[in-house]
Amino acid sequence: MLDAGILDEDEPLELLAGELILMSPQNPRHAALTEKIRRLLESHYGTGVHTRTHSPMAADSDSLPEPDIGLFRGEVEDYLDQHPSGREALMVVEIAATSHARDRDKAGIYSRAGVPVYWLVDLERGCVEVRSRPHLDGEYGETRTLEGEARLAIPGTSEQISVAELLI
C-alpha cells in the first residue's frame, strides 16, 4: 500500500493480525518514559545489540507490530533491507497509558514470533507485566507482574533494574 501510494509512510498505523490499527498519539509521559527506558536498556549492552523505538518488527505474514522499544541482535546496518524478526529480538517493551487491551493482545503476536521477553509497562497501575518463554500457540509460558522495588532481569545480561527505576 505504501508503494501504491494508498498510505503515507508516516501514517500512525500498525499491522496487527491482518488489520491496520490506528495508533493514538503519545502523551508527553509516554514519550518521555519511552526515551528513558530505551536509554536505560541501551546502557546495559555493547556492540552486537541495538535498540529501535516505534519501528516495525517482522512478526509474521500478517503482523508488523511497532513496539515502543525493541532490543535486537546485530547492528542497525544489518537491517537495511529487512525488518528484524522476533527470533532476532532479545526483548520488546510496550508502554501502556491508554492502550492496555491492545498491548496485551500484542503479546500473542510477539509470542508466536518468538520474542523471548515482553515487558508491558502499565503506567496506570505503576507496574510491569513480564512475559517470557514464548509458545507458537501465542501464549507465554510465564507471566509475572512486578512493582516497586521488584527487580527486572535485563535479557542477555546478568544485570537487573527495579521497576521503580523505569517509572517517572
Residue 125 domain boundaries: 27-166
Flag whether 148 is in a domain.
yes
| Mean pLDDT in residue range 40-46 | 92
- Is position 9 within any domain? no
Q: Which residue has the cell 556492540?
A: 47
At 15, the pLDDT band (50, 70, 90 cuts) reads: low
- Nearest alpha-carbon partner for 96 in 19, 29, 35: 29
What is the average pLDDT score of the chain? 87
- Residue 86 included in any domain: yes
Which of 53, 42, 40, 44 is closest to 167 using CA atoms? 40
pLDDT at 3 over 90: no
Residue 105 vs residue 110, higher pLDDT: 110
22 within a domain of the structure (yes/no): no
Domain count, the chain: 1
Q: What is the C-alpha to C-alpha distance for residues 151 and 168, in angstroms, rounded to an integer?
A: 16
pTM score, whole prediction:
0.86
**CATH number for the domain that contains residue 102:** 3.90.1570.10
pLDDT of residue 6: 46
Mean pLDDT computed over 78-87 = 94
The pLDDT value recorded for residue 83 is 93
pLDDT digits (tens, 9 = 90+) for 109-155: 999 999 999 999 999 899 999 999 999 899 999 999 999 999 999 99
Q: Hey, is 1 helix, strand or coil? A: coil
Does residue 1 lie in a domain region?
Answer: no
Give pLDDT, residue 21. Answer: 63
Would residue 100 count as lying in a domain? Answer: yes
Confidence of residue 53 (pLDDT cuts 50, 70, 90): very high
Average pLDDT over every residue of 48-73: 92
Predicted confidence at residue 128, as pLDDT, reads 96
Whether 68 is in a domain gets the answer yes
List of residues 6+ apart from 28 with CB closer than 8 A: none
pLDDT tens-digit map of 150-162: 999 999 999 999 9
Evaluate whether residue 5 is within a structural domain.
no
